[in-house]
Amino acid sequence: MNNSLFQYIKEALKKVVKKEGSQNQEVPYNFNEVKPFTGSLEEDIALIKNAFKNSDDLVIRKLFLPTRPITRAAVIFLESIVNRECLVNSVIYPLQQGIGERTITERGELYKSIETIIEGVLSNNNIYYRKGLQEAVADILLGNGLLLIDSYSGVISTSVGKEPAREYAEPKTERVVRGSQQGFVEDAMVNLSLLRKNLKTPRLVSKKLYIGRESKTELWVVYIDEIADNAIVEELLKRLKRIDVDGIIGSNQIEEYISDAPMNIFNTSFFTERPDRLQGMLLEGRIGMICEGTPFASVVPAVVADYFITTEDYYINSYFATFNRLIRYLSVFVLLFFPAIYIAISTFHQEMIPTRLALTLAGTRAGVPYPAFVEALLMEIAIETLREAGTRLPAYIGQTISIVGALIIGQAAVEAGLVSPAVVIVVATTAIFSFTLPFTNFNLSLRLIRFFNMALAATLGIYGLMTGALIIALNLFSLRSLGVPFMLPFGPISLEDMKDWVLRLPAWRITRRSKHIVKGNNQRKSDNLKPSPPS
Amino acid sequence: MKRVKLAILIIIVTLLTTACWSRREIENLGFVLGLGVSKTETGLFSIVAQVANPGFFVAEAPEQRDIYTILKAEGLTVFDALRNLSMISGRRLYLSHIKALVINESIAKEGIGEIIGFLVQDMEVRLEIDVFVTKQAPEEIFDTPNTLGLIPALVMEIMAVNYGASSKVYVAELHETVEAVNNPVINYVTGLLEKLPAPSENEKAMFHLTQIAVFDNDRLAGYLGFEEGQGFNFITNNFKNAVIVFESKSSGDLLSIEVLESTAKVKPKLTDTGVGFDIKLKVRANVAERVPKDHTYWELDIEEATLQLNSVLEEKMALAMKAAQNQYQIDFFNLSRYFYRAYPAEFKELKDDWNKVFSKAEINYEVESTLLHSALNQNRGRI
């Protein structure tokens, strides 16, 4: 009986989850397709450009080879991941400038065929002859330069990739223990190269825009074609193109210009300073914006679940990661409501407190000269000031501030009877819970709303608190990020998305992209990846 | 923008005009934990409130007598007396945390209806308050510093919660009192609280729940002893994990039986001769202790012990029933409820005279007990 009931519930749940995923059909994409080059320079260039979906960091350098008659050629490479010096010295210079040192007969010999060019002219260390488009594209993605020569059916791949160097920064706001220690830097091109190294697909599209009449800030919009929803991409580009300003300072300003709800206290975009995080989000169908001068990439559309996820979650045991996430969800409620609840029940609803706790609260508050609300407000402002002071000061003084502020002043205030120990506990607990949330705009908005809740609680008690909670909920549920519901996966509720966004199930269970963000291409991986012992 | 401004204005005005209506800071409340009611010789109500001293409550090692204050005032009604209390208390008395209501015997004999009325009508008072009857003055009962470090009213609450360990007494909560007062057929029992003198020189005086006070509707009629108390708790399904002791017939050993679970099912019947009740008691118990006679060791005959337990339980119930039917002629078991459910039409006629009908009722007992475990190893009982 028990067993059958359990079975029934399991089946029912399966149906619910299945229903959501069932429309997601895999778009066939053949990675092994071999397209031969035609031999016509224009056609071959178009072929490669198409393969890269007209990405703006794909550079095509056309040149003339000094044969008789002159042969047209082109070098194609990804600007972000090649070593330009090497490219010029070992490919372009020999092809063009090396002429003067040779006699005409020598030249005739050297430029006779592709083989002779490879052997005699190019001074690059590793050179391959490629016939198929796929191989050629893969070479470009590895940082190679591709030499196309008119009327030769085939291309020459030259190794001009960047030497692996740690030119990236260490992520400061999203630190992890086990994961990569790579972070974005101010140079957009470096950031793009980090991304290109993680995502070696020609479908990673990069579009370059210049924003700002005077500043001409470089902005790269990156997304994965056929995963990201084209409508969202077009909408984003449309919004970006209408930004007509004199200058842009950092990516947050751009986020403000393209927001769906510009006046709202919550931002509807997300930022990260980790290439692996951005990589993961692009694979989910998001669109990244890399702005010159900001070591953070902005991501749209953002959903509320993003603000509860840290990259660390994917580097540790899935059970523990889930536990951590649930703590973060709890933190939001503590951060928003704990001081407010303290005020409400200690000034309006004393009957709700267990008797002994009520007596303890009354005992510790005896002699405190102001009402509970003023007391809590003062302490909350004090702790926010401490936080701000700690952030602004250099790291080694920041430590001192927390010791002086939290320990000495806190202790003295309690001993002098200026504040009650209970409110210190409440404020400190709230602060600690708030620090479990990753550093995001969402977190900052919640901190502000806490004061609003406290005021409501002080005037109307629990009734006011519930009103506040309703206002926040209604506000959040009305938000959109580029047309995608901000409160995903809670509103509209989506069990499939909760697998990855609320819980963190093992990697083999997260097989689909959210149907609210991605239209069509939802299958991320095959459904039967669960490892099992060999039968 | 205009609408936003208007919305902000409305919010600000709303918040400011509430003016923190009914706001009261927690430290300004006088937490009343116990309330005692008695009557003065002149017929005024005398109210005793046990108010906590939170400042001493949180102190590291407070003097036991400092953690509470006892206030006393008189008035024409209970409410009047309470308001008179605030003239001396200084703090606004806060009734939501009352744990114990102590009613003096003299008032209980006259009927508790007039004091309960206020407690029901006041919105701060909760109906979970434990009600005690006392023969001593309430202020004396409340002034009992104890070594638990607790305010006496809190100790009373703990005692009321733990009555099941012996199940010899019963402590009712205020909602039961209210029900009994409002309904003339329903009768009521609760515990009699006495303050015993200190057992030894350095010890302090202590509370003791000595008897069950029996009410005829809302008037105190008399008391029940421990044996009758257990019988009462069996019949009314209030028996918790208490111990029953009897002497084994065959071996002469003393057996302590710990009851784990007891359920009584009452079946009313209406015959030509009158009203009758079949009480079917099911008990699951353990043998918890065995005191062997002459230090000899016998194998315990579970079957025999079970049978004997049945008859012991039956005797206890019969004893309680005898007190109800013969001594007081009050249906304090409230068997009328079972009867009303089975024969609503007939009950209407018998209602006014129910106690008399009840005292002539024929009661049949059927006890079915199960001894789950002997709880004794080989050496136990052999010593």
Q: Supply angle C-alpha B113, B116, B119, rounded to 5.
A: 160
Does A513 fall in a domain? no
My answer on whether A57 and A133 are in the same domain is yes
Give the model's pLDDT for residue B155.
Answer: 87
Domain B226-383 has CATH 3.90.1150.10: no
My answer on whether A426 and A372 are in the same domain is yes
Inter-chain contact A359–B27, Cβ cutoff 8 Å?
no
Distance in angstroms (rounded) separating the CA atoms of residues B383 and B380: 6
**Closest CB from A355, A366, A371 relative to B99:** A355
My answer on whether A45 and A146 are in the same domain is yes
For residue A345, the chain B residue with the least C-alpha distance is: B26
Give how far the C-alpha of residue B159 lies from the chain's centroid of Cα atoms, to the nearest Å: 9
Condensed to tens digits (0 to 9), the pLDDT of residues B344-375 reads: 888 888 888 888 888 888 889 999 999 887 75
Give the model's pLDDT for residue B378.
Answer: 56
Give the model's pLDDT for residue A338.
Answer: 94
Does A393 fall in a domain? yes
Contacts 24+ apart (CB under 8 A), B260-269: B260/B284, B260/B285, B260/B286, B260/B372, B262/B234, B262/B237, B263/B237, B264/B234, B264/B235, B264/B236, B264/B237, B266/B235, B266/B335, B266/B338, B267/B338, B267/B342, B268/B335, B268/B338, B268/B339, B268/B342, B268/B343
My answer on whether A241 and A324 are in the same domain is no
The answer to whether residue B147 neighbours chain A at the CB level (below 8 Å) is: no
Give the model's pLDDT for residue A3.
Answer: 63
How many domains is chain A built from? 3
Number of neighbouring beta carbons within 10 Å of residue A13: 11
Condensed to tens digits (0 to 9), the pLDDT of residues B226-271 reads: 888 888 998 888 888 888 898 888 777 888 888 988 999 999 888 8
Distance in angstroms (rounded) separating the CA atoms of residues A533 and A168: 41
Q: Which of residues 25-44 of B touch A (CB under 8 A)?
A: 25-27, 29, 31, 33
My answer on whether A298 and A322 are in the same domain is no
Distance in angstroms (rounded) separating the CA atoms of residues B78 and B118: 7
Condensed to tens digits (0 to 9), the pLDDT of residues B268-295 reads: 888 888 888 899 999 998 888 887 777 6
Does A166 fall in a domain? no
The set of residues, in sequence order, having a beta carbon less than 8 Å from that of B205 and lying 6+ positions away, is B144, B195, B196, B197, B198
The set of residues, in sequence order, having a beta carbon less than 8 Å from that of B252 and lying 6+ positions away, is B293
The answer to whether residue B66 neighbours chain A at the CB level (below 8 Å) is: no
The answer to whether residue B1 neighbours chain A at the CB level (below 8 Å) is: no
A9 burial via Cβ count (<10 Å: 0-12, 13-18, 19+) = exposed
Q: Chain A interface, mutation test: which of B8, B22, B27, most A Cβ atoms within 10 Å?
A: B27
My answer on whether A120 and A252 are in the same domain is no
Q: Is the ipTM of this complex over 0.90?
A: no
**Closest CB from B22, B27, B99 relative to A365:** B27
Structural domain boundaries enclosing A128: 41-159
Place of tokens 């119930």: B317
Calculate the CA dihedral of residues A353, A354, A360, A365 and round it to 10 degrees.
10
The domain segmentation of chain B, as residue ranges, is 26-224, 226-383
Residue A498 backbone dihedrals phi, psi, to 5 degrees: -65, -25
The two three-digit tokens of residue A194, written as one number: 């980090």
Domain end: A302, A324, A348, which one?
A302
Give the model's pLDDT for residue A449.
Answer: 92
Give how far the C-alpha of residue B364 lies from the chain's centroid of Cα atoms, to the nearest Å: 27
Q: Chain B interface, mutation test: which of A263, A355, A365, A374, most B Cβ atoms within 10 Å?
A: A355
Distance in angstroms (rounded) separating the CA atoms of residues A222 and A288: 5
The set of residues, in sequence order, having a beta carbon less than 8 Å from that of A125 and lying 6+ positions away, is A90, A159
> A459: which chain B residues are within 8 Å (Cβ-Cβ)?
15, 18, 20
Does A514 fall in a domain? no
Lowest mean pLDDT among B23-27, B102-106, B188-192: B23-27
My answer on whether A430 and A480 are in the same domain is yes
Q: What average pLDDT does range B123-140 have in this prediction?
A: 88
- Splitting chain A (535 residues) into consecutive groups of 10 residues, what average pLDDT does each group show? 68 63 46 65 84 85 78 86 83 71 70 72 78 82 84 78 69 84 86 87 89 89 90 92 89 89 89 91 92 90 91 91 93 93 90 88 85 88 85 78 78 85 90 86 90 89 90 92 90 87 89 87 84 85
Does A129 fall in a domain? yes
Domain end: A271, A302, A333, which one?
A302
Number of neighbouring beta carbons within 10 Å of residue A421: 17
The answer to whether residue B15 neighbours chain A at the CB level (below 8 Å) is: yes
> A364: which chain B residues are within 8 Å (Cβ-Cβ)?
58
Does A511 fall in a domain? no
The answer to whether residue A177 neighbours chain B at the CB level (below 8 Å) is: no
The set of residues, in sequence order, having a beta carbon less than 8 Å from that of B383 and lying 6+ positions away, is B292, B295
Arithmetic mean of pLDDT over chain B: 85
The set of residues, in sequence order, having a beta carbon less than 8 Å from that of B51 and lying 6+ positions away, is B30, B31, B32, B33, B68, B69, B70, B71, B89, B91, B93
My answer on whether A54 and A92 are in the same domain is yes
Asked if A147 and A87 count as a contact pair (C-beta separation under 8 A), the reply is no
- pTM for the predicted model, two decimal places: 0.81
Give the model's pLDDT for residue B87.
Answer: 82
My answer on whether A358 and A292 are in the same domain is no
Place of tokens 């434990």: B130
Contacts 24+ apart (CB under 8 A), A399-408: none
Give the model's pLDDT for residue A22.
Answer: 45
The answer to whether residue B62 neighbours chain A at the CB level (below 8 Å) is: no
B24 CA: distance to closest CA in chain A (Å): 5
